[in-house]
Amino acid sequence: MAQEKSYKYVIVGGGVAGGYAAMEFNNQGVKPGELAIISKESVPPFERPELTKAYINPETNPTLATIYVPSATGGEKQYAKWYKDRGIDLHVSTEIVKADLASKTLVSDDGTIFKYQTLLIATGSTFIKLSEIGIQEADIKNIYYLREVEDLDDIAGAMEFYIQNGKSVVIGGGFLGIELSASLRANNHEVTMVFPEPWLLHQLFTPEIASFYEGYYANKGIKIIKGTVATGFSSNSNGDVSEVKLDDGTTLEADMVVVAIGGKPVTSFFKGQLEEEKGGIKTDGFLKTSNPDVYALGDVATFPMKMYGGMRRVEHADNARKSAVQAVKAIKAAEEGKSIPEYDYLPYFYSRFFKLSWEFYGDNVGESVLFGDNDPKSPKPKFGTYWVKDGKVVGVFLEGGTPEENKAIAKIAREQPSVESLDVLSKEGLSFATKL
Ligand code: FDA
């Protein structure tokens, strides 16, 4: 007979949001036996962004434990023992394959039935495969995707050991493509990036910001091919990838390929049971879904963006952390008949690669104003961009900022000060933010 387990709270998904939700349940005094986390991954929740930063960095080369949640925000690291000591059941290597929200039942891949009173969905995203956009890659080896720790172990194994100093092609010019290219280059690979957009990180960067990073990458020996897409691959007699074919008819030699063309939220087994919007599970300002006993957190949630109006789904770690905390606070407050303020999220994105490090806060809409030293050859480049809409600063990007300066730009994005003219911003540069 199938095993049945019953909990007051169940979190499906042991990633960033799942880990931070457990942290907040602990802060709120969850009792032993009340909470379970069910995770497809074989390890406790960790800070996923560090996979392409610290985890495969040949200089730091840390163990996974150094990036367990909540290391990014400085709290006590949640080792497997942390969960055990608190009576929180962490079911790793356990995939939920069926959910029946009407009977409050989940079923895992080994047939275990999990019953809950309140469910938190934190299943995150998964990568989009080339085959989903019509490109055949089946049966060709050394083509990699990245999401989970095993994916990064496979990539690290290939780049450091069996394809040493090889030719790598990175397909995609977004966050992951940029960070992974730096790691490959740091491992002495000959790296070419290919993407269809006209510049790097097209959804966030202005052409001026991108031009700095493209110049910097060129100086590092990374080749960037823009405005074209991969259409297929050739392989050698071992079945290893040997060439990437591009839609302009040219080919690139390749010993390994990393594909980073975007992600999609993992919501399939809740289909038809919850309202959806913009590809995610629709929530209110407490991360509560259309079912009052079900909450959605992190990448899967489409929530009201209080600052800007409308609904947004945000595939970034900061939102995963904060939405998780908000949901747990809302659940506990509701139990006590209290209310808490609605989620008021300020978008925050960041990245680190080579010796560079940038942060962005707010909204990248309206007119943009560049300031500072954005010469890719500068020994210590430091520059940024303000976005101005309706006479107010609504977004700020800063490369090379100190923690205090990054705090200052976050404050600007939150407070949205008025600005006399774009010229003022351009002349004052970073001091416009730091003097506030
Ligand atoms: P997350 O993906 O972290 O966790 C989802 C969990 O649910 C996983 O453990 C998964 O296995 C599990 N799961 C899924 N289906 C399941 C099922 N059916 N049963 C059980 N478990 C299931 N963001 C950023 O702001 N800055 C950055 O620099 C980066 N860098 C970065 C690098 C890399 C390599 C990746 C892959 C992603 C980033 N991100 C990022 C994005 C960021 O990591 C992402 O937004 C958060 O991890 C989202 O947290 P979630 O908890 O929603 O999903």
Q: What is the DSSP string of 268-320?
A: GGGTTTS-EETTEEE--TTSB-SSTTEEE-GGGEEEE-TTT-SEEE--SHHHH
Closest CA to 428 of 384, 380, 376: 384
**Cross-strand partners of 142:** none
Q: Given pLDDT bands bounded at 50, 70 and 90, which one contains residue 136? A: confident
Cβ 16 under 6 angstroms from ligand 1: yes
**Which strand (E) or helix (H) includes residue 53?**
none
* Tokens, residue 375: 């010469």
Atom of ligand 1 nearest to the CA of 95: 19
Range with the lowest mean pLDDT among 116-120, 138-142, 387-391, 396-400? 138-142
Tell me the CA–centroid distance for residue 123 and ligand 1, in Å: 8
Cβ of residue 52 lying under 6 Å from some atom of ligand 1: yes
| pLDDT of the residue at 2 | 81
Q: Alpha-carbon distance 78 to 14, whole Å?
A: 12
Among the listed residues 181, 162, 185, the one whose alpha carbon sits nearest the alpha carbon of residue 170? 181
- Tell me how far apart the alpha carbons of residues 245 and 229 are, in angstroms, rounded to a whole number: 9
Cα–Cα distance for residue pair 357/348, rounded to 1 Å: 14
320 lines ligand 1 (CB under 6 A): yes
For 145-182, what is each residue's pLDDT tens digit?
999 999 999 999 999 888 989 999 999 999 999 999 99
For the entire predicted model, the pTM comes to: 0.96
> Nearest-CA neighbor of 303 among 267, 331, 327, 329?
327
Question: Which mutation among 11, 92, 97, 123 tests ligand 1's pocket best, with the greatest number of atoms within 8 A of CB?
Answer: 123
Provide, rounded to the nearest whole percent, the portion of the chain with pLDDT above 70: 99
> Ligand 1: does its nearest atom lie under 6 Å from the Cβ of 95?
yes
Q: Which atom of ligand 1 is nearest to the CA of 20?
A: 51
Give the mean pLDDT of the chain.
Answer: 96
Q: Give the distance (Å) from ligand 1 centre to CA of residue 15.
A: 5
| Residue 117: closest CA among 33, 14, 1, 20 | 33
Domains defined along the chain, listed by start: 4-126+264-335 (3.50.50.60), 130-261 (3.50.50.60), 355-434 (3.30.390.30)
So what's the pLDDT on residue 179?
Answer: 96
Give the C-alpha separation, 37 to 167, whole Å: 41
Q: Please state the atom number of ligand 1 nearest to the C-alpha of residue 151.
A: 34
CB 325: neighbour CB atoms within 10 A? Answer: 23
Structure confidence at residue 205 as a pLDDT band (50, 70, 90) = very high
pLDDT of residue 162: 85
What confidence tens digit (pLDDT) does each residue in 275-324 have?
999 999 999 999 999 999 999 999 999 999 999 999 999 999 999 999 99
What is the per-residue pLDDT across 331-369, written as a single tens digit (0 to 9) for each?
999 999 999 999 999 999 999 999 999 999 999 999 999
Among candidates 39, 9, 270, 32, which has minimal Cα distance to 116? 9
- The bridge status of strand 301-304 relative to strand 280-282 is parallel
As a whole number of angstroms, the distance between CA 133 and CA 135 comes to 6
pLDDT at residue 62 tops 90: no
Q: How far apart are the C-alpha atoms of 164 and 190, rounded to whole Å?
A: 10
